[in-house]
Amino acid sequence: MAIRLGDEAPDFTAQTTEGEIKFHEWLGNSWGVLFSHPKDYTPVCTTELGMAARLKPEFDGRGVKIIGLSVDPLESHKGWEKDIEETQGTAVNFPMIADADRKVSDLYDMIHPNANDTLTVRSVYVIGPDKKVKLMLTYPASTGRNFDELLRVIDSLQLTANYNVATPVNWKDGDDCVISPAISNEDAKAKFPAGWKEIKPYLRITPQPNKVRGEGRAA
Ligand code: BEZ
């Protein structure tokens, strides 16, 4: 059955470049990003894995564990990782699932037969500490993903999990937010001491709550 936002992320046991993992146990209380690559030893995937490795400190800082997947065996992943280190200037510093039997790819519906019946598409699943799916992205094999966008969405997800705000078009961390329409002006007075600008009753702009003096980054 198709996975939808809000569903529990399916659990699995898999072989990875960092040993066998039980997915939910490996996630623990962290946020998680599970992302698939069509195939080992391919150019776009090589650049994506290099970028993900370089951005690992950014994911760590947000309490997010990242894990890649492709439908090739472990030995192939290990050989490819040497190339990634050589060409991208950084070693892969997160586990890669060896999904040669496509168990995880099938579980997460990562093979779209009308696009390609053997390789995965470029899927991204962001999973919350409650193990629920918070974001799904699906890119074709020919288009590398934008990992800055992924971090941007994680910032939004973590902010909106903790405050009654939503993030407007092209928002990035530190920008103004919109107050959730479900919050009355009366309740907003207590929740948003920095105030807000009411453009329409349903469009109220407020400074990002965890950037207002005295607040830290949302956990
Ligand atoms: C790539 O990662 O470069 C790629 C993989 C599969 C098909 C096309 C491109």
Q: pLDDT per residue over 169-190, tens digit each? A: 999 999 999 999 999 999 999 9
Cα 143 to chain centroid distance, Å, stands at: 17
Tell me the CA–centroid distance for residue 84 and ligand 1, in Å: 15
- Catalytic entry in 45, 71, 92, 159: 45
The DSSP annotation for 72-140 comes to S-HHHHHHHHHHHHHHHSS---S-EEE-TT-HHHHHTT---TTT-SSS--EEEEEE-TTSBEEEEEEE-
- Kindly report the pTM of this predicted structure: 0.95
The arithmetic mean of pLDDT across residues 7-36, rounded, is 98
pLDDT band at 55; cut points 50, 70, 90: very high
pLDDT band at 215; cut points 50, 70, 90: low
pLDDT at 217 over 80: no
| pLDDT for the residue 102 | 97
Beta-carbon contacts of 142 under 8 Å, excluding residues fewer than 6 positions away, are 44
Tell me the CA–centroid distance for residue 124 and ligand 1, in Å: 16
Q: Is 95 in the pocket of ligand 1 (CB under 6 A)?
A: no
45 is a catalytic site residue: yes
